[in-house]
Amino acid sequence: MKALKNLKDLIGKTADLIRNSEKTVALTGAGISTESGIPDYRSKGTGLWEKFDPIAKASATALLSDPAEFYRFNLPRWTAYRDAEPNTAHRALAKLEEAGLLFSLITQNIDGLHIKAGSMRVWEVHGHLRTCRCMKCSSSYPFTELTRQFEKGTNPPVCPKCSGVLRPDVVLFEDPMGKDYLRALEDLRGCRLLIVVGSSLAVYPVADMPSYAQKLVIVNREPTPWDSRAEVVAHCSAGEFFEGLLEALGL
């Protein structure tokens, strides 16, 4: 297939693929949220995990070995994520679902912006920042319980019932994948078109999800290991791409 270079052509090709797809699923990563002010993790020179070792800072081991340092490093950043607002790309994906053109959305992000944007069938395979739980008695609390205690000087935040250390309902490094991951795999059965947005496709097991789809569209600022398999590869702003895509689809 002759490579498409012009952004308008890439958008038009994507619109045609969506129209002709019986089942389209989206997979999003950190790059879709950068236009909402949330830095990504793996961009060269600027990604968070380019500067810090994720196992040392955001793993199950880090939480268990030094929970106070775990929260000093992660909680202010996560709190900022919760205050962010959806951007054009988030809203466009919600619009595609509303129009019956998108079956479901799988996200690696914990920021909750797809749900804020109005997407309904969302699988948050790395968890979310809406709740937390006690590692001792498993009691569940709103995520704000973490920030409330932290801001009052209690670090690490603890369970009001048993004083066990609380943990956010996110999938940390070294954690097993949760129920949303299994549900996402179910939705990928029979997927004719997978639209990947803002993911480096470098973190497993999510990085293997493109293998479930017949056709791929990849919208990411940097190359991914799956680019050679994709029908469309757009190294551009997700917001710019999806603004044009909605127009091409008459939405």
Annotated active-site positions, please?
A: 126
User: CA-CA distance, 18 to 128, in Å (whole number)?
Assistant: 28
Q: With CA atoms as reference, report the closest residue to 150 among 82, 83, 75, 84.
A: 75
191 is in an annotated binding site: no
In what side-by-side order are the strands of the sheet with 166-170?
140-142, 127-134, 166-170
Exposed/middle/buried for residue 224 (C-beta within 10 Å: 0-12, 13-18, 19+): buried
User: CA-CA distance, 181 to 177, in Å (whole number)?
Assistant: 6
DSSP 151-214: HTT-SS-B-TTT-PBEEEEE--BTPPP-HHHHHHHHHTTT-SEEEEES--S-STTGGGGGGG-S
162 is in an annotated binding site: yes
Q: Please, are residues 155 and 40 in contact by the beta-carbon 8 Å criterion? A: no
Task: Give the residue ranges of the annotated binding site.
Answer: 134, 137, 159, 162
Task: Give the residue ranges of the annotated binding site for Zn(2+).
Answer: 134, 137, 159, 162
